[in-house]
Amino acid sequence: MARRRSSISVLAILVLVHLYIGLRLLPGMDVGLFGMLLGIVLLAASAVLVRLGLVAPSLRRSRWSGPLAWAGLLAMGFFSSLLVLTLLRDVILLVIALAGAGSPAIKHDSALAVPLLALLVSVIGFVNARRLARVVTVNVPIVNLPEELAGYAIAQISDIHVGPTIKRAYLNAIVNKVNGLKPDAIAVTGDLVDGSVQRLALHTAPLARLAAPDGVFFVTGNHEYYSGAEQWIAEVRRLGLRVLLNEHVIRHRGAASLMIAGVTDYTAQHFNPAHRSDPQQAAAGAPAGVAVKVLLAHQPRSAPAAADAGFDLQLSGHTHGGQFFPWNFFVPLQQPFVAGLNRVRSLWVYTSRGTGYWGPPKRFGAPSEITLVRLVPA
């Protein structure tokens, strides 16, 4: 009953927001009665489709679940830009009116421009999201780096979100690209899936082909906990990846040694108290003389604890770089970094923009990436 009330409340909010868009745009378009009716029908359909998009990962499987998920998520992407541009138009019109320069032509032209711009941004964003992520090479300077570890490379993929619109073929192309980089190790830093093992095991199977001399490692993201973390941990292990749950491994290059550690997601304890994220525990028991300590942590906000634990480098994801405007401005409200290489005391933190996308198949101003992290002397 509570879930049904929540569903009705979300739909009611969507209807009200779409009503706002309609009231602000349709009268200014001057499209006549038929155009007004068509606009109302389209906005009503958008409200319903966006609601479907919000629940796309849990839609009951049927011949229509796939097309409905696609339609809902595409509508989410378009609606997001439509709402932002409508609000922006209102702000601009208010400023123009206060300046005494308003005119019916400005209202008319801007009302027509908003949906056209929203459509253009959505199309560009769709192309950006669906194409194979580019490779970004990042050199991380390490003080007193042993010669044997100079150039050590870790390929990082993150936030793929296999689910309603990201399937086996999409992941297969990522795996091919990563293997072609021939890194020393591979890190999958969480949010691999949006859905259950039963629903998605066929589509995550390409992960079994990931290969690197020092291993392929996985840490949980928050979306694993939304999707049944224990089952996904077992499945990822079955595929041959090493899951690091607040633990580490040591790898050697000649006389030099390197630690690759991993923590559970920053919020994991809310789903399973035994999975509390703990960088100190991840580093515990390491032999003396480890030259470089690398931590895999889904969320950048693990960084202060990682610095306290003595790590040299943290690889994270979670933020998607904002994925598309304007959400990049909201990421700093929760995370210390949006994307790229940053510093927390003696710790380097690299935050990936993600290799897939969440929700709408849309990336605008935040391109997806496969990251090749190389250790270099400082």
Inter-helix orientation angle 65-98/32-54, to 10°: 120
Q: Cis omega before residue 300 (within 30°)? A: no
What's the pLDDT score for residue 73? Answer: 96
In this structure, the answer to whether residues 151 and 102 fall within a common structural domain is: no
Amino acid at 251: R
Domain boundary among 92, 115, 130: 130
What's the pLDDT score for residue 328? Answer: 84
Residue-number span of the structural domain to which 301 is assigned: 134-377
What's the domain count of the chain? 2
Question: Buried b / exposed e across 312-335, counting CB within 10 Å, b at 16+?
Answer: bbbbbbbbbbbbbeebbeebeeeb
In this structure, the answer to whether residues 277 and 345 fall within a common structural domain is: yes
In this structure, the answer to whether residues 244 and 195 fall within a common structural domain is: yes
Q: Residue 295 has which token pair?
A: 């931590």
CB-based contacts of 102: which residues, under 8 Å, 6+ apart?
93, 96
CB-based contacts of 366: which residues, under 8 Å, 6+ apart?
320, 321, 322, 323, 324, 328, 339, 353
C-alpha angle 34/36/41, rounded to 5°?
95
What's the pLDDT score for residue 104? Answer: 85
In this structure, the answer to whether residues 368 and 220 fall within a common structural domain is: yes
In this structure, the answer to whether residues 214 and 343 fall within a common structural domain is: yes
In this structure, the answer to whether residues 213 and 356 fall within a common structural domain is: yes
What's the pLDDT score for residue 7? Answer: 62
Lookup result for tokens 């999975």: 275
In this structure, the answer to whether residues 86 and 225 fall within a common structural domain is: no
What's the pLDDT score for residue 63? Answer: 81
In this structure, the answer to whether residues 16 and 107 fall within a common structural domain is: yes
Region class of 323: left (phi > 0), else alpha (psi between -120 and 50), else beta: left
In this structure, the answer to whether residues 84 and 163 fall within a common structural domain is: no
- Residue ranges of the chain with per-residue pLDDT less than 50: none
Task: Indicate which CATH number applies to the domain containing 314.
Answer: 3.60.21.10
Distances (CA, A) of 231 to 200, 213, 238: 12, 27, 11
Lookup result for tokens 């992520």: 133
The DSSP line for 60-98 is: PPSTTHHHHHHHHHHHHHHHHHHHHHHHHHHHHHHHHHH
